């Protein structure tokens, strides 16, 4: 169980190039926002301040690519690290109603090589080997568990390297994100199988709002994929089932696989991904720095048909001078 915050004053700490600028930012703060993603996007920070005297658009203005570190929490001693970021897109706004300055940062390195679209093929390599090759080209490291899949040939088609790895992880049952200099893979089954860090009831004093939906799209009980067998090029179909869905449609996977193992992995991943859309929600809490993407929460019986276990796919921590809220987007698992 993660601790819930008691009434206290919100606090953030921001270092830019190793220098703590929190005391300069705090008196002029408009907002400090940290957004954490479980898959497909780098984490982000955005800080906006009043700039009446022009210091932030002048000598204090950070440069593109400057390193920053952020912590969020409460006074006097609860600070949780949000991570390391590279600053991008500093912005100054001049207005009769008041001048402002904002800066944005992302957890992925901001380099031309990572932003370059590439077309190339990888032969006789596993996804882990492909990820390690890409990581070595950019001075990064691979952590976690990429899907255990081997390719005769895997094509990258006019994609940025991180987009290609994200697509590959998604196709074969994993989450992928970037944290600083790490390419992070987490197998979906392992993430969803973790214990819930928090159980919430409708009466929870820290819950501000909950917007819950049951998807109107199809529910799938099985998925069908195909591959060609050996030199005969004989077309073979395979099916996998979702035992939690009693009555549902069959999801057909168009992409051809190289062998039965690949086909089953692809089918299982696609079925799981589609059925994650059955139950979704957006919940807003009194700020809790421990609620992060990739964690599981449980909605108690007072949530009725929406009671159950959910994975946090995105968390957004928003601090202003008047308060701190945490907004999470969830999928039922």
What pLDDT sits at residue 229? 73
CATH number of the domain bearing residue 81: 2.30.300.10
Whether residues 236 and 270 share a domain: the answer is: yes
Instruction: Count the domains in the chain.
Output: 3
CATH number of the domain bearing residue 181: 3.55.50.10
Q: Could you tell me if residue 209 is inside a domain?
A: no
Whether residues 89 and 132 share a domain: the answer is: no
Q: Could you tell me if residue 35 is inside a domain?
A: yes
Question: Three-state SS across 30-76?
Answer: EEEEEEEECCCCCCEEEEEEECCCCCCCCCCCCCCCCEEEEEEEECC
Whether residues 45 and 95 share a domain: the answer is: yes
Q: Could you tell me if residue 262 is inside a domain?
A: yes
Of the residues 68, 91, 106, the one at which a domain ends: 106
Query: Which helix or strand (DSSP H or E) is residue 170 part of?
Result: helix 161-171
Whether residues 99 and 17 share a domain: the answer is: yes
Whether residues 97 and 29 share a domain: the answer is: yes
Whether residues 165 and 230 share a domain: the answer is: no
Q: Could you tell me if residue 320 is inside a domain?
A: no
Of the residues 261, 277, 293, the one at which a domain ends: 277
Whether residues 101 and 35 share a domain: the answer is: yes
Asked whether the beta carbons of 281 and 211 are under 8 A apart, the reply is: yes
- pLDDT tens, N- to C-terminus, the chain (333 residues): 455 556 578 999 999 999 999 999 999 999 999 999 999 999 999 999 999 999 999 999 999 999 999 999 998 778 999 999 999 889 999 999 899 999 999 998 878 788 899 999 999 999 999 999 999 999 999 999 999 999 999 999 999 999 999 999 999 999 999 998 899 999 999 999 999 999 999 999 999 999 999 876 678 888 999 888 766 567 788 889 888 787 788 899 888 899 999 999 999 999 999 999 989 999 999 999 999 999 999 999 999 999 999 999 999 999 998 899 999 999 999
Q: Could you tell me if residue 298 is inside a domain?
A: no
Whether residues 69 and 124 share a domain: the answer is: no
Q: Could you tell me if residue 199 is inside a domain?
A: no
Whether residues 237 and 253 share a domain: the answer is: yes
Domain that holds residue 154: 112-189
Q: Could you tell me if residue 289 is inside a domain?
A: no
Rounded to a whole number of angstroms, the distance between the first and last alpha carbons of the chain is 19
Beta strand 29-37 with 44-50 is antiparallel
- Token pair in block for residue 92: 């100054």
Nearest to 313 by CA among 6, 27, 31, 43: 43
- Token pair in block for residue 243: 């035992």
Whether residues 98 and 125 share a domain: the answer is: no
Whether residues 19 and 101 share a domain: the answer is: yes
Of the residues 86, 106, 126, the one at which a domain ends: 106
Task: For residue range 108-153, list pLDDT tens digits in order.
Answer: 887 878 889 999 999 999 999 999 999 999 999 999 999 999 999 9
Give the distance, in angstroms, between the CA of residue 28 and the centroid of all CA atoms in the same chain.
Answer: 30
Whether residues 235 and 180 share a domain: the answer is: no
Place of tokens 């009725």: 304
């Amino acid at each position: 169980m993660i601790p819930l915050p008691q009434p206290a004053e919100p606090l953030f700490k921001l270092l830019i190039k190793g220098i703590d600028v929190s005391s300069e930012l705090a008196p002029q703060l408009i907002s400090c926002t940290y957004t954490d993603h479980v898959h497909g996007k780098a984490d982000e920070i955005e800080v906006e301040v009043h700039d009446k005297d022009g210091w932030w658009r002048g000598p204090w203005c950070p440069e593109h690519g400057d390193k920053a570190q952020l912590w969020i929490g409460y006074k006097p001693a609860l600070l949780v690290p949000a991570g390391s970021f590279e600053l991008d897109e500093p912005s100054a706004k001049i207005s009769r109603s008041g001048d402002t300055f904002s800066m944005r940062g992302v957890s992925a390195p901001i380099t031309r090589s990572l932003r370059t679209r590439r077309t190339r093929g990888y032969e006789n390599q596993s996804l882990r080997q492909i990820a390690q090759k890409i990581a070595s080209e950019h001075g990064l490291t691979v952590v976690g568990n990429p899907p255990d899949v081997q390719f005769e040939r895997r094509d990258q088609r006019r994609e940025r390297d991180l987009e290609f790895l994200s697509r590959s992880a998604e196709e074969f049952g994993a989450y992928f994100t970037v944290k600083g200099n790490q390419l992070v893979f987490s197998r979906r089954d392992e993430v969803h199988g973790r214990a819930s860090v928090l159980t919430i009831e409708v009466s929870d004093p820290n819950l501000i709002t909950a917007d819950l939906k049951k998807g109107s799209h199809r529910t799938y009980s099985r998925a069908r994929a195909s591959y060609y067998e050996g030199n005969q090029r004989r077309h073979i179909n395979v099916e996998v089932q979702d035992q939690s869905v009693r009555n549902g449609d069959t999801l057909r996977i168009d992409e051809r696989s190289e062998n039965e193992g690949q086909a089953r992995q692809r089918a299982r991943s696609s079925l799981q991904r589609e059925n994650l859309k059955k139950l979704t929600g957006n919940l807003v809490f009194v700020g809790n720095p421990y609620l992060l993407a990739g964690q599981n929460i449980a909605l108690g019986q007072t949530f009725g048909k929406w009671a159950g276990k959910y994975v946090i796919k995105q968390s957004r921590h928003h601090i202003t001078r008047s308060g701190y809220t945490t907004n999470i987007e969830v999928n039922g698992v």
